[in-house]
């Protein structure tokens, strides 16, 4: 690979700064904490880090409400700290990606403070404003993901403004060329600093329907929303007009044109739409995004059939586009709890890493997955996430996956010298890095072994994929790169499985990956519980 294509097949380690390591004793993780642990991250065998927002923010949505795109919030450090982080990461061979939240700002951003004052100021048209209906109600029926109407009344202007997320996260008006230019200029600031990539938050939310048409209702049986509370009315609509508008495609081309001036810098778009796989295929086609990922594998459905169908649907639609897969992040329940069904074993943890990292595409791994962390159980009084607080008790929000990294089994798990912003789950202390470093059979060492092995398998990093139709709970496929072909098979169940698999008797098992290996015998694929088979096909 050339340096410009480093991202194809890369494993990207997501760092949630608030919860990684606190170095100044305020209970919140910071950039110096990331710098301190970069050697640990590099030891995992990953290719890049993605650092969640660290910009100036009132923290209503913990950094995804940005008040200044070009500065570091004092909670996390300084711009000089970020420069040091970038230099150390590059010295360790790690690429650095950062979040860019383009569709909305904080209501504390200078742009919005000016825009909200009246209808004739210089920034009056920089946000999505609309008059009330004759009865004073909002302009249409659009809903916020975080509950209730997506419109908030502003008495100073005598109008409503749009917010697809919190009311304190007003949406920018991307129909205004000046807004698009200003947004791209903010992106340029970080590219000039030397970042290697941008993870684009909610990138399909940049444009809205100019006519402000109502979203149509969704039948009850189709109200399935990944990551949504089961009683969230957001799932009651087809979101045809408040996001994923056709004008966004031209903006993505403009963004790509900017990125092309920085040959090794890449974009990774977060996409959540009515048909996320189709949107991901469209957004990564031609000179748009380099990569896209959706929420399909962040669901509660853990079956070989679902994973196979999801991958097949994407493969059928993607032409030159490149996918990026994730099974955990800072917005959903941790995968070992979500998919483990009470069996959060080390073997399952390493199986899921191997399965994820064998799919065609790049991979995002969330901090703590390399330790086999489960979802933390928090009482209501400990919640900080406005999403969870609003929808408690049917939905507990996102705090359970955001608790601090356990570095040791000390009072605050080595994360901080003071009580942390979210409590430490006592069960996580037994999974602390220091414990796992001392255990050659730990999830951590298993993660490292697999990453070292995968790095030497071009077929797994960059090859094509051919899915095999096998019964539950077996997921299997063939990866091909040039003349090399590798069979990858995974038993997603805890009991041994034996299924017919003709045509692979000449395949040679590959070892060195550190997982429990199955076998091919007389036209049968035999896999132990949560076992794998990697084999080279002649």
Q: Is residue 195 part of a domain?
A: yes
- Per-residue pLDDT at 505: 86
The C-alpha atoms of residue 376 and residue 348 are separated, in whole angstroms, by 18
Is the per-residue pLDDT at 226 higher than 80?
no
| Of the candidate ranges 121-125, 126-130, 301-305, the one whose mean pLDDT is the lowest | 301-305
Whether residues 382 and 326 share a domain: the answer is: yes
The C-alpha atoms of residue 337 and residue 73 are separated, in whole angstroms, by 32
Is the per-residue pLDDT at 471 higher than 90?
yes
The C-alpha atoms of residue 340 and residue 254 are separated, in whole angstroms, by 42
Q: Is residue 77 part of a domain?
A: yes
Number of other CB atoms surrounding residue 341 within 10 Å: 11
Whether residues 442 and 526 share a domain: the answer is: no
- Per-residue pLDDT at 292: 95
Is the per-residue pLDDT at 166 higher than 90?
yes
Phi-psi label, residue 522: left if phi above 0, alpha if psi -120 to 50, beta otherwise: left
Q: Look up 99 and say whether it is catalytic.
A: no
Whether residues 277 and 201 share a domain: the answer is: yes
HSE-up of 337 (CA within 13 Å, CB side)? 15
- Per-residue pLDDT at 321: 85
Number of other CB atoms surrounding residue 156 within 10 Å: 10
Whether residues 513 and 389 share a domain: the answer is: no
Q: Rounded to 5 degrees, what are φ and ψ at 430?
A: -70, -15
Q: Is residue 485 part of a domain?
A: yes
Count of the separate structural domains present in the chain: 2
- Per-residue pLDDT at 228: 58
| Of the candidate ranges 123-132, 207-216, 334-343, 509-518, the one whose mean pLDDT is the lowest | 334-343
Q: Is residue 289 part of a domain?
A: yes
Whether residues 296 and 433 share a domain: the answer is: yes
Q: Is residue 123 part of a domain?
A: no
State the residue range of the domain holding 366. 3-105+177-454
Kind of pairing between the strands at 197-201 and 266-270: parallel
Whether residues 83 and 60 share a domain: the answer is: yes
- Per-residue pLDDT at 98: 98
Whether residues 479 and 411 share a domain: the answer is: no
Among 385, 419, 454, the domain boundary falls at 454
- CATH number of the domain bearing residue 529: 2.60.40.1180
Whether residues 427 and 511 share a domain: the answer is: no
Residue of 22, 232, 83 lying closest to 143 (CA atoms): 232
- Per-residue pLDDT at 225: 59
Confidence tier at 229 by pLDDT (50, 70, 90): low
Whether residues 94 and 199 share a domain: the answer is: yes
Q: In the structure encoding, which two tokens stand for residue 211, read together?
A: 């006519």
The C-alpha atoms of residue 71 and residue 255 are separated, in whole angstroms, by 21
Edge-to-edge strands, sheet with 129-130: 129-130, 159-162, 151-154
Whether residues 436 and 487 share a domain: the answer is: no
Residue of 387, 300, 280, 284 lying closest to 64 (CA atoms): 387
The C-alpha atoms of residue 28 and residue 457 are separated, in whole angstroms, by 39
- In sequence order, which ranges of 63-103 are alpha helices (DSSP H)? 79-91
Q: Are the CB atoms for 190 and 183 separated by under 8 Å?
A: no
| pLDDT tens, position by position, 384-429 | 999 999 999 888 899 999 999 999 999 999 999 999 999 999 999 9
- Give CA separation, 328 vs 14, 118, 332, 377, 455, in Å: 10, 43, 6, 17, 22
The C-alpha atoms of residue 291 and residue 267 are separated, in whole angstroms, by 6
Is the per-residue pLDDT at 124 higher than 70?
yes
Q: What are the percentages of helix, strand and coil residues in the chain, rounded to 5?
A: 30, 20, 50
The C-alpha atoms of residue 91 and residue 37 are separated, in whole angstroms, by 14
Confidence tier at 469 by pLDDT (50, 70, 90): very high
Confidence tier at 2 by pLDDT (50, 70, 90): low
Q: In the structure encoding, which two tokens stand for residue 32, read together?
A: 């110096």
| pLDDT tens, position by position, 29-59 | 999 999 999 999 999 999 999 999 999 999 9
The C-alpha atoms of residue 527 and residue 506 are separated, in whole angstroms, by 17
| pLDDT tens, position by position, 430-447 | 999 999 999 999 999 999
Please identify which of the residues 81, 201, 331, 369 carries the catalytic annotation: 201
Percent of the chain past pLDDT 90, that is, above it, reads 91
The C-alpha atoms of residue 514 and residue 527 are separated, in whole angstroms, by 15
Q: Are the CB atoms for 321 and 284 separated by under 8 Å?
A: yes
Please identify which of the residues 107, 171, 270, 385 carries the catalytic annotation: 270
Q: Look up 333 and say whether it is catalytic.
A: no
The C-alpha atoms of residue 137 and residue 25 are separated, in whole angstroms, by 47
Whether residues 450 and 338 share a domain: the answer is: yes
Q: Is residue 154 part of a domain?
A: no
Q: Is residue 490 part of a domain?
A: yes
Confidence tier at 278 by pLDDT (50, 70, 90): very high
The packing angle between helices 346-356 and 443-455, to 10°, is 20
Is the per-residue pLDDT at 537 higher than 70?
yes
Kind of pairing between the strands at 532-537 and 484-491: antiparallel
Q: Is residue 124 part of a domain?
A: no
Whether residues 30 and 82 share a domain: the answer is: yes
Is the per-residue pLDDT at 230 higher than 90?
no
Among 454, 477, 512, the domain boundary falls at 454
Q: Are the CB atoms for 18 and 402 separated by under 8 Å?
A: yes
Is the per-residue pLDDT at 227 higher than 60?
no
The C-alpha atoms of residue 476 and residue 505 are separated, in whole angstroms, by 15
112's enclosing H/E stretch is: helix 110-115
- Per-residue pLDDT at 294: 82
Edge-to-edge strands, sheet with 497-500: 497-500, 524-527, 519-521
| pLDDT tens, position by position, 308-357 | 999 999 999 987 789 999 999 999 999 999 999 878 899 999 999 999 99
Among 406, 429, 454, the domain boundary falls at 454
Q: In the structure encoding, which two tokens stand for residue 255, read together?
A: 């963004």
- CATH number of the domain bearing residue 193: 3.20.20.80
| pLDDT tens, position by position, 133-149 | 999 999 999 999 999 99
Cβ contacts of 278 within 8 Å, gap of 6 or more:
317
Which residues face 170 on adjacent strands?
none
């Amino acid at each position: 690979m050339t340096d410009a294509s480093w991202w194809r097949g890369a494993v990207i380690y997501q760092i949630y700064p608030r919860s990684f390591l606190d170095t100044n004793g305020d209970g919140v993780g910071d950039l110096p904490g990331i710098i301190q642990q970069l050697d640990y991250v590099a030891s995992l065998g990953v290719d890049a880090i993605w650092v969640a927002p660290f910009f100036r923010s009132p923290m209503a949505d913990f950094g995804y409400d940005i008040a200044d795109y070009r500065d570091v919030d004092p909670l996390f450090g300084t711009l000089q700290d970020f420069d040091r982080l970038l230099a150390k990461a590059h010295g360790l061979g790690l690429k650095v990606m950062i979040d860019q939240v383009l569709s909305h700002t904080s209501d504390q951003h200078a742009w919005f403070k000016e825009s909200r004052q009246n209808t004739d100021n210089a920034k009056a048209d920089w946000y999505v404003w609309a008059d009330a209906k004759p009865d004073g109600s909002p302009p249409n029926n659009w809903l916020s993901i975080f509950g209730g109407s997506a419109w908030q009344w502003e008495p100073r202007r005598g109008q409503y403004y749009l917010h697809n997320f919190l009311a304190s996260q007003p949406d920018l008006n991307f129909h205004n060329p000046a807004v698009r230019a200003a947004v791209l200029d903010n992106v340029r600031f970080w590219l000039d600093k030397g970042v290697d990539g941008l993870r684009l938050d909610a990138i399909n939310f940049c444009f809205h329907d100019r006519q402000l048409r109502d979203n149509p209702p969704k039948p009850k049986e189709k109200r399935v929303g990944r990551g949504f509370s089961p009683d969230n009315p957001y799932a009651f609509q087809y979101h045809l007009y408040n996001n994923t508008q056709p004008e966004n495609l031209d903006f993505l081309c403009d963004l790509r044109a900017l990125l092309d001036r920085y040959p090794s810098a890449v974009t990774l778009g977060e996409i959540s739409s009515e048909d996320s796989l189709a949107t991901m295929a469209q957004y990564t086609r031609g000179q748009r995004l380099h990569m896209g990922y959706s929420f399909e594998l962040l669901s509660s459905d853990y079956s070989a059939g679902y994973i196979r169908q999801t991958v097949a649907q994407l493969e059928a639609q993607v032409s030159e586009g490149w996918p990026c897969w994730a099974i955990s992040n800072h917005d959903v329940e941790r995968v070992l709890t979500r998919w483990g069904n009470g069996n959060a074993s080390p073997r399952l943890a390493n199986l899921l890493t191997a399965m994820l990292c064998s799919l065609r595409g790049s991979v995002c791994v969330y901090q703590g997955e390399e330790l086999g962390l489960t979802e933390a159980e928090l009482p209501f009084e400990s919640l900080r996430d406005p999403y969870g607080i609003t929808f408690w008790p049917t939905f507990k929000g996102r705090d359970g996956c955001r608790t601090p990294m356990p570095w040791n089994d000390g009072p605050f798990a080595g994360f901080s010298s003071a009580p942390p912003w979210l409590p430490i789950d006592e069960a996580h202390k037994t999974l602390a890095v220091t414990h796992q470093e001392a255990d050659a059979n730990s999830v951590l060492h298993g993660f490292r072994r697999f990453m070292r092995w995968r790095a030497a398998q071009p077929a797994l990093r960059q090859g094509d994929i051919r899915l095999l139709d096998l019964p539950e709970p077996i997921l299997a496929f063939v990866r091909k790169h040039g003349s090399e072909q590798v069979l990858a098979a995974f038993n997603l169940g805890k009991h041994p499985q034996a299924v017919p698999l003709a045509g692979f008797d000449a395949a040679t098992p590959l070892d060195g990956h550190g997982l429990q290996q199955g076998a091919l015998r007389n036209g049968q694929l035999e896999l132990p519980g949560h076992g794998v088979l990697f084999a080279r096909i002649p």
